[in-house]
């Protein structure tokens, strides 16, 4: 089922009612989510991603804009008539009911012609349980399960009615690091098997990048960029997106363009085509640095961290916006830790420049 | 070595407990044991501290005393009517309170007011409302006659009318505390459960029965247990409405009977009072045990 969001806007009344001020949680969101894809809504806390999810679920009514599931306009439908499955951040499993009864709960609500017989219900509940691999836990109570198992039960409960759209609110935030890795693979597998269009919310970029077909990066209610994870990473639309994606994060420098040359501080790091003279932000991905004795960028070396597969070189530069410049280089390169400085040359595809005021990307070709 | 250390640390623990144990022992445990002993001492005289013998005579006397049987009957009727009714109505009001937004605080205050008012003063008001005198029928009777009924004296009239007022009054007095407990219990249920239920298309009634009720069941259970105990120990309510001569009004309760046996006009029988008190204790204990047994199946912690 494809999901279309049209000019979706949600305003909340501000704290001071007299002033008639509004907090805009979601601002003019347009997006067509293709059928059967896994979409990650990504952004820092307070960016409106959960509000967007609640608008799609129907728990919140949009201030303006429309929501379509396929061809149906569901904007005015209550949540129960939209055909959605929703997994809450804290799972919201009913603690007094067994796993089986929790999964059966949505089915028992069906009325009229949709009403199922007892055996049909059980069959569906077991099918959902099989899908998330919790069949042997059916008679336990949620309190007797681990976090990961509870998560699976919550997903099974959301899936048992075969929803048109599955929504997950911060599905992994309550799990420890190892379970998180495992569970995100699990979500991916379940989504592939069921082919249900799935939208999940997260503040963890790694989580979103690793399993989503597409990611939507949001900030302060406004969509910053939509695209495949790799595309967004390789081609950030603005400084915010560039900073938000990637671990370690991108290194940002104060720089300027003068006569078709790009400067970081006083170092001329590259030639550049198609950009007028101006002050800019220069973003360099950690993997964009290549140690080079004759390289143009000179940094003061403060440490080298060996991580097995690669080496992380920590250095400082007076034009850097953060106290440390982090670069990741492969172990084939050697960095002389005795020296006080380290020189880098830069990989053109890993360097982005942004407007100093608007922080929008400036498209220019590095040479 | 280890044993010595353990003894030391447990000694420390007892030392911390000492003040509480001392006071509880002197003012709770000792009197309890004393009452138990009194109840078996036949013809005990508190002035001379003497008694004739030891046996079950006190119990036999109390159990054959028509006043005690009357008190027993009254107490049981009171308990059976007021505990479920007050808890049920309190639950309804709490659910109502938690689902309104406007004026919520005002209503919460209004419903809580009876709790901070004096029982005797409230009793007086009830008496004025329900009493029928030579000069006035009272407000309630005015309403009854207005709807075409016959005026009844609720304070000095037939047994059922007096019992009705007593139950009405008791429910009214115990309700605020129950509403307070239940509204906070309702507020503590995580909003996400309701959202999850809504997404699944659960009807309002089913959400209440299958989610809300089990979630607040420990609090309901607490109220039922304390409600039973409180109602079994009722005394001041009856005094507030019907005066101190409760036996004459046929409105005595077990605690009232105990009081009368000690200090009433026909009082001065601590042995009978003790026997009645022990009987009450046995009844409350039994009912509480039954409650605990039932709760094992229906209360979800």
B270: its two tokens: 């601590």
Residue A280 bridge partners (DSSP)? A255, A355
Contact status of A106 with chain B (Cβ, < 8 Å): yes
Name the burial class of residue B104, with classes exposed (0-12), middle (13-18) and buried (19+) by CB atoms within 10 angstroms of its CB.
Answer: middle
pLDDT band at B2 (very low <50, low <70, confident <90, very high): low
Size of interface A-B (CB pairs under 8 A): 54
Q: Do B192 and A92 touch (CB under 8 A)?
A: yes
| A57: contact with B, CB 8 A cutoff | yes
Query: CATH for B66-298?
Result: 1.10.3720.10
Given this model, what pLDDT does residue B239 score? 87
Please report, rounded to a whole number, the percentage of residues in chain A having pLDDT higher than 90. 25
- pLDDT band for position A40 (cuts 50, 70, 90): very high
Q: Do A237 and A268 share a structural domain?
A: no
Query: Given a cut of 70, is residue B253 above it in pLDDT?
Result: yes
Q: CA quadruple B178, B184, B186, B188: dihedral positive or negative?
A: negative
Q: Using an 8 Å Cβ cutoff, are A52 and A33 in contact?
A: no
Angle at A326 between CA A323 and CA A327, to 5 degrees: 155
Q: Does the distance separating the beta carbons of A92 and B195 come in below 8 Å?
A: yes
In this structure, the answer to whether residues A259 and A237 fall within a common structural domain is no
Closest chain B residue to A84, measured at CA: B199
What does R_g of chain A's alpha carbons equal in angstroms?
Answer: 25
- Distance to chain A for B174, nearest Cα, Å: 29
Check whether B5 has a pLDDT greater than 70. no
Query: Residue B201 pLDDT > 90, yes or no?
Result: no
The helix or strand, by DSSP H or E, that contains position B24, with its residue range, turns out to be: helix B2-24
Average pLDDT value for chain A: 87
Distance from CA of A168 to the nearest CA of B (A): 12
- The model's pLDDT over A310-355, given as tens digits with 9 standing for 90+, comes to 888 888 888 888 888 888 888 777 777 778 888 888 888 899 999 9
Q: A198: helix, coil or strand?
A: strand
Among A188, A221, A244, identify where a domain stops: A244
Whether residues A107 and A160 share a domain: the answer is yes
Q: Over the stretch A214-233, which tens digit does the pLDDT of each residue have? A: 999 999 888 999 999 999 99
Nearest residue in chain B measured CA to CA from A85: B199
A164 and A20 fall within a common domain: yes
Q: Does A163 touch chain B (CB under 8 A)?
A: no
Distance from CA of A205 to the nearest CA of B (A): 25
State how far residue B154 is from chain A, nearest Cα, in angstroms.
Answer: 46
What does the H/E/C string look like for A33-81? ECCCCEEEEECCCCCCHHHHHHHHHCCCCCCEEEEEECCEECCCCCHHH
With CB atoms and an 8 Å threshold, state whether B198 touches A92.
Answer: no
Q: How far apart are the first and last CA of chain B?
A: 42
Is the pLDDT assigned to residue B1 strictly greater than 60?
Answer: no
Question: How much is the ipTM here?
Answer: 0.80
Q: Which of B190, B200, B217 sits opposite A105 (nearest CB)?
A: B200
Whether A49 has a pLDDT exceeding 80, the answer reads yes
Residue of B nearest to A169 (CA): B192
Q: Which chain A residues are closer than 8 Å to B201 by Cβ? A: 79-81, 106, 109-110
Q: Domain boundary at A226, A244, A262, which?
A: A244
pTM for this structure?
Answer: 0.78
A304 and A348 inside one domain: yes
Q: Among A217, A244, A271, give the residue marking a domain's end.
A: A244
Q: What residue in B sits closest to A111 (Cα-Cα)?
A: B201
A85 and B203 within 8 Å at the Cβ level: the answer is: no
Which CATH number is A193's domain given? 3.40.50.300
Across the interface, of A58, A92, A96, the residue whose CB is closest to B214 is: A96
Q: Find residue A23's DSSP bridge partners.
A: A12
**Cβ of A109 under 8 Å from any chain B Cβ?**
yes
Chain B residue with Cα closest to A101: B210
**Which of B195, B202, B215 has the CB atom closest to A59's CB atom?**
B195
pLDDT of residue A206: 86
CA-nearest residue of chain B to A87?
B196
* A118 pLDDT tier (thresholds 50, 70, 90): confident
Q: A278, A283, A253: which is closest to A267 by C-alpha?
A: A253
Report pLDDT digits (tens) over B73-132.
Answer: 999 999 999 999 999 999 999 999 888 877 888 888 888 888 888 888 888 888 888 887
Question: Which one of B190, B199, B214 has the shortest CB-CB distance to A80?
Answer: B199
Interface test with A, best of B189, B198, B200, B215 (most A CBs within 10 A): B200
A87 and A186 housed in the same domain: yes
Report the SS3 class of residue A203. Answer: coil
Whether A231 and A142 share a structural domain: yes
- Does residue A258 share a domain with residue A183? no
Within this chain, do residues A189 and A316 fall inside the same structural domain, yes or no? no
For the sheet with A341-346, list strands across it.
A289-291, A341-346, A297-306, A310-316, A325-330
Give the per-residue pLDDT at B223. Answer: 93
Please name the member of A81, A92, A96 whose beta carbon is closest to the beta carbon of B196. Answer: A92
Does residue A162 belong to the interface with chain B, where contact is any CB pair within 8 Å?
no
A319 vs A243: CA distance, rounded Å: 17
A105 in B contact zone (CB under 8 Å): yes
A245-304 residue pLDDT tens: 988 899 999 988 888 888 888 888 888 887 888 889 999 999 988 888 888 888 888 888
Mutation site for A-interface testing, chosen from B196, B198, B299 by largest number of A Cβ within 10 Å: B196
The mean per-residue pLDDT over the stretch B31-45 comes to 86
Whether residue A96 and residue B190 make contact (CB cut-off 8 A), yes or no, is no
Q: Are A55 and A7 in contact (CB under 8 A)?
A: no
> Is A323 in the B-facing interface, judged by CB distances under 8 Å?
no
- The Cα B241–Cα B125 span in angstroms is 9
Q: Name the residue of chain B whose CA is nearest to A89's CA.
A: B192
For residues A134 and A189, membership in a common domain is answered with yes
Residue A146 contacts B where some CB pair is shorter than 8 Å: no
Interchain proximity A90–B201, CB inside 8 Å: no
- A79 touching chain B per CB within 8 A: yes
Taking contacts as CB-CB distances below 8 angstroms, the residues of chain A near B297 are none
Q: Which domain holds residue A310?
A: 251-366
Question: Cβ–Cβ of A110/B196 closer than 8 Å?
Answer: no
Q: Which helix (H) or strand (E) holds B75?
A: helix B66-99
pLDDT at A21: 77
Range A177-205 average pLDDT: 88
Question: In this structure, are A11 and A81 located in the same domain?
Answer: yes
How many domains does chain A contain in total? 2
Distance from CA of B188 to the nearest CA of A (A): 14
A58 and A182 part of one domain: yes
Inter-chain residue contact A88 with B192, CB threshold 8 Å: yes
């Amino acid at each position: 089922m494809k999901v279309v969001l049209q000019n979706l806007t949600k305003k909340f009344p501000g704290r001071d009612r007299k002033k008639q001020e509004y907090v805009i949680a979601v601002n003019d969101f347009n997006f067509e989510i293709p059928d059967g894809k896994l979409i990650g809504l990504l952004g820092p806390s307070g960016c409106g991603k959960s509000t967007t999810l609640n608008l799609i679920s129907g728990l919140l009514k949009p201030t303006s804009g429309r929501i379509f599931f396929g061809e149906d306009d569901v904007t005015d439908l209550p949540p129960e008539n939209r055909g959605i499955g929703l997994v809450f951040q804290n799972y919201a499993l009913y603690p007094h009911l067994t796993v089986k009864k929790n999964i059966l709960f949505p089915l028992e609500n069906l009325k009229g012609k949709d009403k199922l017989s007892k055996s049909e219900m059980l069959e569906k509940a077991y099918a959902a349980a099989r899908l998330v691999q919790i069949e042997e836990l059916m008679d336990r109570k949620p309190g007797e399960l681990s976090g990961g198992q509870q998560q699976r039960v919550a997903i099974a409960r959301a899936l048992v009615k075969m929803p048109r759209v599955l929504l997950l609110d911060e599905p992994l935030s309550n799990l420890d690091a190892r379970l998180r890795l495992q569970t995100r693979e699990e979500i991916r597998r379940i989504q592939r098997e069921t082919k249900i269009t799935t939208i999940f919310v997260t503040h963890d970029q790694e989580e979103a990048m690793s399993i989503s077909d597409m990611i939507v990066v949001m900030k302060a209610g406004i969509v910053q960029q939509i695209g495949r994870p790799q595309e967004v990473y390789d081609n950030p639309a603005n400084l915010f997106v560039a900073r938000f994606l990637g671990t370690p994060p991108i290194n940002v420098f104060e720089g300027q363009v003068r006569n078709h040359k790009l400067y970081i501080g006083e170092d001329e790091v590259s030639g550049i085509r198609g950009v007028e003279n101006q002050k800019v932000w220069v973003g360099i991905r950690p993997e964009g640095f290549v140690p080079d004795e004759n390289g143009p960028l000179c940094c003061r070396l403060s440490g080298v961290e060996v991580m097995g597969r690669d080496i992380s070189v920590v250095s400082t530069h007076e034009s850097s916006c953060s106290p440390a410049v982090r670069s990741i280089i492969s172990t084939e390169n050697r960095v002389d830790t005795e020296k006080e400085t380290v020189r880098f040359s830069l990989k053109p595809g890993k360097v982005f420049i942004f407007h100093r005021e608007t922080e929008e990307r400036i498209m220019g070709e590095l040479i | 070595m280890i044993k010595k250390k353990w003894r030391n640390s447990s000694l420390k623990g007892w030392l911390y407990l000492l003040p509480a144990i001392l006071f509880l022992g002197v003012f709770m445990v000792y009197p309890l044991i004393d009452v138990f002993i009194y109840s078996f001492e036949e013809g005990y005289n508190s002035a001379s501290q003497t008694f004739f013998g030891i046996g079950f005579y006190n119990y036999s006397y109390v159990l054959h005393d028509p006043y005690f049987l009357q008190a027993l009957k009254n107490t049981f009727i009171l308990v059976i009517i007021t505990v479920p009714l007050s808890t049920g109505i309190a639950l309804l009001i709490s659910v109502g309170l938690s689902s309104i937004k406007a004026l919520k605080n005002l209503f919460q205050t209004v419903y809580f007011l009876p709790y901070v008012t004096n029982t005797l003063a409230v009793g007086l008001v009830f008496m004025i409302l329900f009493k029928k005198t030579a000069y006035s029928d009272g407000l309630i009777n005015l309403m009854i006659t207005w709807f075409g009924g016959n005026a009844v004296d609720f304070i000095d009239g037939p047994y059922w009318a007096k019992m009705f007022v007593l139950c009405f009054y008791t429910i009214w007095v115990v309700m605020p505390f129950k509403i307070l407990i239940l509204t906070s219990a309702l507020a503590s249920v995580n909003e996400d459960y309701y959202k999850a239920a809504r997404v699944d298309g659960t009807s309002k009634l089913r959400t209440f029965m299958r989610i809300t009720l089990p979630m607040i069941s420990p609090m309901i259970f607490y109220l039922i247990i304390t409600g039973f105990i409180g109602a079994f120990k009722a005394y001041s309510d009856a005094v507030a409405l019907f005066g101190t001569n409760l036996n004459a009004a046929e409105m005595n309760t077990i605690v009232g009977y105990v009081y009368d046996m000690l200090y009433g006009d026909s009082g001065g029988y601590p042995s009978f009072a003790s026997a009645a008190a022990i009987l009450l204790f046995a009844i409350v204990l039994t009912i509480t045990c039954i409650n605990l047994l039932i709760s094992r199946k229906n209360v979800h912690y």
